[in-house]
Structures are given as structure tokens and as C-alpha cells.
Structure 1
Amino acid sequence: MATIVYQTNKKTGVTYAYESTAYWDKEKQQSRAKRTCIGRLDPVTKQIVPNRPRKKPVVAGGRAKRGPVPITTAARSFYGATYFFDWIGSVTGVVDDLRACFPDTWRQILSIAYYLILEDRNSLSRFPRWAATHWHPHGSPISSQRSSELFASITEAERQRFFELQGQRRVEKEYLAYDSTSVSSYSKCLKQVRYGNNKDHEPLAQINLALLFGQQSRLPFYYRKLAGNIPDVKTLTKLLADMNTLGYRKIKVVLDRGFYSSANINELYRQHLKFLIGARLSLKLVQANLDPVRETMRSWTHYSQTYQLYAYSVASHNK
């Protein structure tokens, strides 16, 4: 039969109530009692204040199990590099612009971009293995087939919209460097793979990739795939037309001598653009202005420590 027993803690002065149940101890052959604390005695009302009920762990099947819940799975993920990329995307506005242009797939695009940067020597077929140990915005594996479908789903209008939003953030504060490169290919199916001036000096057909990026931010503002047989000097007209479409105004363009031609110079002037362009020393216009000052400019007063070159301004009126 259970009875209630009261016991006072001498240190705290709190009186606890115990439920005492008598039972017969067969080993010691004597009567003993089992006590369970059910609460404390309120000193004012003299009523028992019950203890708060303890939550019992529940396991599969609905049965309560005493003790800690065992760990069923263990995983390890790397966060450092991808958190750093998150910060870069936030301060440059890339994340916001991707979300605006690709509301349904921007997380997948970011995750693939992170992978291609961190695992630049591996193909996209290894993305699921990388995703198993790295945190990334999408949070789930992306199969090789799914990544191909994702790339195919991106339209030209969406790409242009993204570059337009990026340009609005910083284009007027930048010098825009424009250049092109060649990507060699064995493909017999791609229409733009043609033989041309291979910049890697490989005896292969190629696709040309034109890129416009900011000198300060080092971020791209525009890119365009071109047929491999189109020389650099022929691509500038298309670039200027695309920049008008993107709404880029008051830009400053830097080009190497591969883009130098009278037609390109006239087009840059016609559109009232500020530009800096390299030229071949063999041109008569260059020789006529360089020869008179060649010795004068080779002095420390005309040397730039920053760019490690001699510079001299000449006002030319030659036509």
C-alpha cells in the first residue's frame, strides 16, 4: 500500500513529498520501501505542488525507451568556400540579379557555378559526389542530364537581361576591357566550330569567345560566342550594337591592337564612346607621331611605376 512521506532538506529548507510503497525483499528477508518524489510542499497552502512531467523518448513503434536517443546518421559538409561565394554574390548583386532573371532555377545555377570554380578540372558528372560533402545553395545533387537541361533552358533574352542588370550597377564607374579567345574543339556537329587564328597555336578548329569585363570589378558585363573563322577586328561592330541593346551608356572601352581598324575607330567616334586602343608600330600614323618623341619619352618623368611602361601624350591632327 502506498503512503505519502514528507522529508525536509536541511540546506534549502524545502519539504519534498514522496510516494512510499512497501514491498518484501526476498534476499534480505525483510520489508522495505520504494520512494518516488512526487512534488514539494507549499509552505503557505500546505498543498503538494506536483513535479513537471518528464518527456519520455519515443522510438519506432511508439514504445518509450529510456536513455538518450541513438544517432542514426552521420554526415560531414564543407562550408568555407561556398559561404565565401555567397558573400561575393551578395555584395556584387549577382545573387539578386540571378533571382530576378531566373526565379525558378537561380539556386541550381549558383550551385553549378560554385562547383565549376572549385572543381575546375572535373566534369559536371561528378557534381553529385561533390554535393555530398559540400554545402551549396541548391542543397541537392544535380545530375549531368539535369545540368544539360538547365543550360538548354536559359534563353538569350534571360542572359541579356542578367547582363543588363549587372551593367546598371557599375558600368559608368568602369573601364570595360574587351578581348576574345579561342576554344579548340574536335566537334564535327557544332556549326560555329571553324578553322581560324587559333590563339593557343593548336592545329584544330575552334569557337571564338568574346568577353567584356570591368577593369575594376573584374566581373563580366557581356559575352558572345562567335564562329572560329571571324577575326577580332570584325567583332567590334557586333559588340557596339549589343551594348546599345543592353542600354550601356557613357562607357569607356579598352581594346588591344587586334581590334584596330579605320572602320572600328570611326564607329567608336560615331557613337561618342571614350576608348583606348593599341596599334601596330608599323602603321604610318603611329610612326609619324612616335618618331619625333621616341627619345624624349624614354625618361623617368614619363615612366609609370604602376603599369611599368613609358607613356607620352601626343596631339595628332593627321588624317
Structure 2
Amino acid sequence: MTTEVKSLDKRSGITYIYQSTSYWDKVKKAPRCKRVLIAKLDPVTGERVPTDGRGKRRRQKEQSSTIAKPGPVPSIRTERLFYGATYLLDQIGDKLGIVADLKACFPKDYKKILSLAYFLILEDTSAVSRFGRFAKTHRHPYGRDIPSQRSSELFQAVSEEAKMSFFRLQGRRRLESEYWAYDSTSISSYSDTLKQVRYGKNKDGEALPQINLALLFGEKSGLPFYYRKLAGNIPDVKTITELVRELDVLVYIKINLVMDRGYYSADNINGLYRQHYKFLVGVSTSLSYVQAYIKELGEDMQTYEHYTDQYKVYCASRTIAWNYEQERPYKGDILKGERRMYLHLYYNPEKAVEDEQKRTAYYVKLESELQSGKHKPEHEKDYAKYFIVHETPVRGRRITPNNEAMKKARRLYGYFALLSNDVKDPVEALQLYRTRDVVEKAFGNLKERLNCRRTLVSSDSGLEGKLFVTFVSLIYLSYIKSQMQKNNLFAKYTLQGLLDELDVIECFCEPGKALMPGEVLKKQEALYEAMDVTPLYAKPSLE
């Protein structure tokens, strides 16, 4: 009898479909089963995807005599190349599993992806079209030039399935117990052919045509392992629903998210509870339950018992009940209940002074706009809230401040709040929340060092591929910066300075002979050790 059997591979997260045939084993006198792979399930759509499982090993054996085995590209000519920095990247790629995961997801193109990533890291101000010059002077995984047309074809060949598989593999290398910092940034683009380019406001409040990029970072590892491209006009708060859905597709075992207050909404909190995810999120002090806690604590908040010298702030916590709601379309009702939540409140005296200065400058701006008659639609509510306008035939327009409203706002100066369904201690919560800095620093790398402030591609498929290669580069850079901070290397080097210090090390290549690295100085050896990789001198040959 022949039946179909589904089996989930826990290592890759892929469900395979086998054709199972039962038969009687005359020798062992017992029933046996023979299975043949016939298809797999698409992790996003759930559709069947046929495979070439039948005869695969036989075909590979037949082709082994004509297809070159994977591995370092052997030297085909005598040459001397720069090798010190690319050797460092080779070692990091092996250590973090980047090479193995790329090879599993992009078996034909993984060396090209690595070489382009190396180029973006080491030649941060150059366009990809200048790769040929880099290839002539450096030893790199692909070992040959990648002309501009070929790199464009590579970008367009990066499929969503392969990209998601890479995210899945990299995510499983992160510690299950760590929190993941989630945030987004904007990338400006003036292309008329990219579908997701929309006018939106960046972090500086500027309205520009842009796309948005969301990143997920490991709090302890300091490494990124997921990103998603978004239309430029989508606000942060709208992205959580899709994030939750995609994390579910990636089949991660434990999910702990850290987010700023731009991602807070009742729907998002309910969605995170629904998936049983742990989270820590910033919240506005304008929320009623936050203001109630501030009022309850009063002046006691600024007493020594609430002070933490580690962060120079006053803090307090309480348990609150979250009014959970879940819409159930299949039953046509809404499930309601209470969920336990921890509210962490903080007061920073320095922030209070800054808030006072910013708010006063804002009041001056509002009054000036009222006086001139040049109103801004986004300020209409604050005009009415903080000022009283009198119109008289004799005196004309007279504007007076609403002192009561301004006093009420002043009570919140210096305060900020966090919300979590997992972290009970306010100091631990603040420590976790500040790990979001790794994302902010990553955005700096993404836009400045990796030449991604402006998109220089004209098609959506090309943009997807370039973003993916850029993301691979970001993993390497994040690791290097993390090790530099850990070993206090920023006191002596910039990130570029460290790479330049190693980049001058050469290697001599001759056909048929082992690769010969050049001289390595003691300070260069110390840099390799600080990066937690084997120094180049200790490994005389990679062939």
C-alpha cells in the first residue's frame, strides 16, 4: 500500500513529503516501509514544491567527474595579494556560521555573495561597479572579478525562500534566552520604478521619498539575523503584526522582543500575548495608568530608596492588569480577560532639565505660529491645549498661555516608562532596554559604511538582493565593533583604522603551491586575538 507522509526537519524548519510504500520482508518476516522524497511545503504559502529527490545521489555521482569540488579557489597564476583583512573576515564567517548558512541556502552563489560583502566592508565609499579593482588586489572567496552586470544578476537571483532560510539558520544560532532588539530606519530613494518608495518622515522628521528597513538584533550577541523591507509611509506601530507572523513562519522556539514606544499599541500588545511572546516595550507617560502611578508616588519617587547609581536614575515598579482582548472570527466573538503586566517607572533629573528646555522652545514656536497666522495642521490640538486666543475688534488678537495645561505637562518632565510581561526588576528592564543601542549603531553602519543611504538600484528584485548582501556585511561589521568595544580598541583605532592595519598584510600565490602569508607584526597578531580568531601566522596555508 502506498501513502503520503509529511515529516518536519527540525534543523531547517522545512516540511518534506514522502511517498511511503509498505511491503513484507520475507527474510526478516516483518512489515517494512520504503520512503521516497517527492515534494516539500513552501514555508510561506504552504503549497507543495516538487523536488528532484529521485536519483539525486546517482546524478551527483555521475557529475562528480565534471563538476569542481567546493573549496578555496586554487591559484591559477603567480601573484601577490592583500590578505590580512579578508583572512579576518574568513575566520569570522566560519566562527558565526555565515559561510555554512550561505552555502546551504545559496549553493551556487554563496562565494559571490561573500566577496561582494567583503568589498562593501573594506571599500565602504566605493560603488559595487568598482569591484574589479578590489578583485585584482585582494584575495577573496570567489577569487575572480564580478562585473557590474553579473552583480546585478546576482542581486536579482536572491529569492525570498533562500533569504528566509538564511534568517532561520542564523536565528537558531542565537541564544534562545536572549532578548531581540527590534527597530526600523529609513533609506531615501528617488527611484520611480521601486514600488515601495513612498513619502514618509525619517527619524529627523524630514518628509522624503524612502523605503523603511526593520532589523532584529540579538541583545547578548549584538548580531543581526533578520530584516524586512517596508513601504516608506508605513509607521512603526503597524509593523508588529507582520513581524509576529513572519517569526511564527521562521519557527523560532523562544521569542523575546525589546521595542521602543513607537511600537506600542493595544493591538500589538494583544498580538504578542496571543503568540505567547515575551516583550519589553517603551510606553508614553501620557497613558492614564502611567500618570496614575506617577501621581501615586508623588515626591516619594525622588527618594534615595528608589535611586540606582548604575544608571543615575530613580526607579519603581508595580504589577498591573492588562485588559486582554482576542477577536475570534471562527466563533464570531471577542475573548476578554486580564493578563499580568509589569510597569517600570523612571525619573532622570537631567532629562527633566532637557524636557523643560525642549518644551519651552516648543511653546515659543507655537505662539509664533499663532501670532503670524501660519498654522500647521499637526499643531492644531496643541494650539488649543496650551494657549487661549482672544479676538476683539479693538485690540485684535490677544494670545495668553494656558498655565494650568503647562503645569500639568511639567509634572511629567524627566519621567519615562517601560512595560513588560516578563521582566520584574526595573534595573534589569532598563539594562535590557538600553541594548537597543546596538540597533542604532547598526543603522549607522548600514547608511554610512555600507553606502546604503541612497538606493542605487532600479528594480525591486535588484533592491532585495543588494539589501541582502548589505545585511550579510552588517553581520561582520557588528561582530567586529562588538569585539572592539569588549577589548577597548576604540581608544586606539577606528573601525576603518583596524581593518586598514590588517589589510596591508600580503600573501604570495603560485599555481600548485601552498599559499604563503606575509609578515605579521605583533600588534597585528594582537588584533586577530582581540577578534577571537586564530592569528594568520599560525595558519600557513588555506589550500
TM-score normalised by L of structure 1: 0.72
Offset at residue 301 of structure 1 (A): 5.3
Matched, 1:156 2:160: yes
Matched, 1:313 2:294: no
**What secondary structure, in the 3-state scheme, does the structure 2 residue paired with 1:127 have?**
helix
Give the corresponding residue for 1:284: 288
**What secondary structure, in the 3-state scheme, does the structure 2 residue paired with 1:254 have?**
strand
1:35-184 pair list within 5 angstroms: 75-184=79-188
Distance in 1 (CA, whole Å) between partners of 2:147 and 2:295 is 61
**What secondary structure, in the 3-state scheme, does the structure 1 residue paired with 2:90 have?**
helix
Matched, 1:268 2:279: no
Amino acid at match of 2:112: Q
> 1:210, 1:224 within 8 Å by CA — same for their partners in 2?
yes
1:286-301 pair list within 5 angstroms: 286-293=290-297, 295-298=299-302
**What secondary structure, in the 3-state scheme, does the structure 1 residue paired with 2:172 have?**
helix
108-117 or 168-177: bigger deviation: 168-177
81-90 or 304-313: bigger deviation: 304-313
Cα 1:318/1:146, change in 2 over 3 Å? closer
> 1:184, 1:202 within 8 Å by CA — same for their partners in 2?
no
**What secondary structure, in the 3-state scheme, does the structure 2 residue paired with 1:278 have?**
strand
Distance in 1 (CA, whole Å) between partners of 2:177 and 2:194 is 38
> 1:167, 1:248 within 8 Å by CA — same for their partners in 2?
yes
**What secondary structure, in the 3-state scheme, does the structure 2 residue paired with 1:86 have?**
helix
Cα 1:264/1:112, change in 2 over 3 Å? same
Cα 1:80/1:279, change in 2 over 3 Å? same
Distance in 2 (CA, whole Å) between partners of 1:143 and 1:130 is 11
Give the corresponding residue for 1:57: none
Cα 1:202/1:255, change in 2 over 3 Å? same
Q: For 1:269-312, what per-residue CA distance to the aligned partner results, in whole angstroms no more than 9, with x for missing partners?
A: 11111100001111112111233236444456545555554442
Matched, 1:196 2:181: no
Give the corresponding residue for 1:54: none
Offset at residue 235 of structure 1 (A): 0.4
Cα 1:300/1:120, change in 2 over 3 Å? farther
Give the corresponding residue for 2:243: 239
Give the corresponding residue for 1:216: 220
Distance in 2 (CA, whole Å) between partners of 1:295 and 1:135 is 64
**What secondary structure, in the 3-state scheme, does the structure 2 residue paired with 1:122 have?**
coil
Cα 1:127/1:303, change in 2 over 3 Å? farther
Q: For 1:13-62, what per-residue CA distance to the aligned partner results, in whole angstroms no more than 9, with x for missing partners?
A: xxxxxxxxxxxxxxxxxxxxxxxxxxxxxxxxxxxxxxxxxxxxxxxxxx
Offset at residue 79 of structure 1 (A): 1.3
Distance in 1 (CA, whole Å) between partners of 2:151 and 2:132 is 11
Give the corresponding residue for 1:14: none
Offset at residue 135 of structure 1 (A): 1.4
> 2:201, 2:207 within 8 Å by CA — same for their partners in 1?
no
Amino acid at match of 1:103: P
> 1:285, 1:318 within 8 Å by CA — same for their partners in 2?
no
> 2:176, 2:255 within 8 Å by CA — same for their partners in 1?
yes
Structure with the larger RCO, 1 or 2 (CA within 8 Å, 6+ apart): 2
Cα 1:264/1:140, change in 2 over 3 Å? same
**What secondary structure, in the 3-state scheme, does the structure 2 residue paired with 1:269 have?**
helix
Amino acid at match of 2:181: A
**What secondary structure, in the 3-state scheme, does the structure 2 residue paired with 1:247 have?**
coil
Q: Aligned-residue CA RMSD in angstroms?
A: 2.0
Amino acid at match of 2:110: W
TM-score normalised by L of structure 2: 0.43
Cα 1:274/1:309, change in 2 over 3 Å? farther
Distance in 2 (CA, whole Å) between partners of 1:171 and 1:244 is 17
Cα 1:307/1:207, change in 2 over 3 Å? farther
Cα 1:121/1:304, change in 2 over 3 Å? farther
Cα 1:280/1:104, change in 2 over 3 Å? same
Percent of aligned positions with the same letter in both sequences?
Answer: 58
Amino acid at match of 2:156: A
Distance in 2 (CA, whole Å) between partners of 1:121 and 1:303 is 46
Q: For 1:206-264, what per-residue CA distance to the aligned partner results, in whole angstroms no more than 9, with x for missing partners?
A: 10111111112222221111111111000000000000000012211000000000000
Offset at residue 150 of structure 1 (A): 0.6
Cα 1:267/1:299, change in 2 over 3 Å? same
Amino acid at match of 2:200: G
Cα 1:184/1:303, change in 2 over 3 Å? farther
Amino acid at match of 1:113: A
> 1:289, 1:316 within 8 Å by CA — same for their partners in 2?
no
Offset at residue 76 of structure 1 (A): 3.6
**What secondary structure, in the 3-state scheme, does the structure 2 residue paired with 1:312 have?**
strand
Distance in 1 (CA, whole Å) between partners of 2:282 and 2:221 is 22
**What secondary structure, in the 3-state scheme, does the structure 2 residue paired with 1:191 have?**
coil
Residues paired across the two proteins, number: 247
5+ long unaligned stretches in structure 1: 1-72
Distance in 2 (CA, whole Å) between partners of 1:212 and 1:86 is 24
Distance in 1 (CA, whole Å) between partners of 2:91 and 2:312 is 34
